[in-house]
Amino acid sequence: MPADAPHREYRSGSDLRTLRDALGSFATGVTVVTCVDADGQPFGLTVNSFTSVSLDPPLLLVCIARNARCAPALISASHFAVNVLQTGQQPASIRFSTRDEDRFGTTPWSTGETGAPLLMDSLGVFECERHAVHEGGDHDILVGRVLRASFDPTIDPLLYFRGSYRRLHFD
């Protein structure tokens, strides 16, 4: 790195804002993770900690904040869905990350094969059964076994980078 380049550094024990900003320099897609509870009530939240884990068996993971109101339902649900958002779904991403929004009342959705809600017009969806839950500090690492994956290969993803929504563009 050139000597005059802007440079910021986090070290263990120093301020968490800098750590957050460092982690935010990893560009991601955006998903909404959904499930229903034992009473059939839908739950969902915006998640960008989505990672593929294994092809055989087919596993993926998401990290769920332990203090999220959705966390008890998601961690105990037998099945969940990861809805990968496309460029036009920024309003859904905001709604599913904002407290006291009527998340499912204002977003078109349907019930998937496993019972978990699927957001209409998503770029892709992974319908999963719970495979494992691992402790991860202030988050739980929810590992799902993919039962069904479907996607539209023609539409562009919604992206998140440095705390802002982004779109792909090619010059």
Interface residues for ligand FMN in 26-55 (CB under 6 A)?
30, 45-49
Does 99 help bind ligand FMN (rule: CB under 6 A)? Answer: yes
Question: Is 51 or 111 the residue whose CB approaches ligand FMN more closely?
Answer: 51
* CA–CA distance, 147 with 52 (Å, rounded to integer): 14
60-76: buried (b, 16+ CB within 10 Å) or exposed (e) per residue?
A: bbbbbeeebebbebbbe
Residue whose token pair is 């496309």: 86
Distance CA 158, CA 140 (A): 24
Query: Does residue number 80 form part of the binding site for ligand FMN (CB under 6 A)?
Result: no
77: exposed, middle or buried (C-beta count within 10 Å: 0-12, 13-18, 19+)? buried
Cα separation, 107 vs 89, whole angstroms: 10
Residue 127-166 contact track with ligand FMN, rule CB under 6 A, x = bound: ---------------------------------x------
* Region from 3-11, 17-25, 62-70, 142-150 binding ligand FMN, contact rule CB under 6 A: 62-70
Question: By C-beta, is 22 or 113 nearer to ligand FMN?
Answer: 22
Question: Site residues (CB under 6 A) for ligand FMN?
Answer: 30, 45-49, 63-65, 68-70, 97, 99, 160
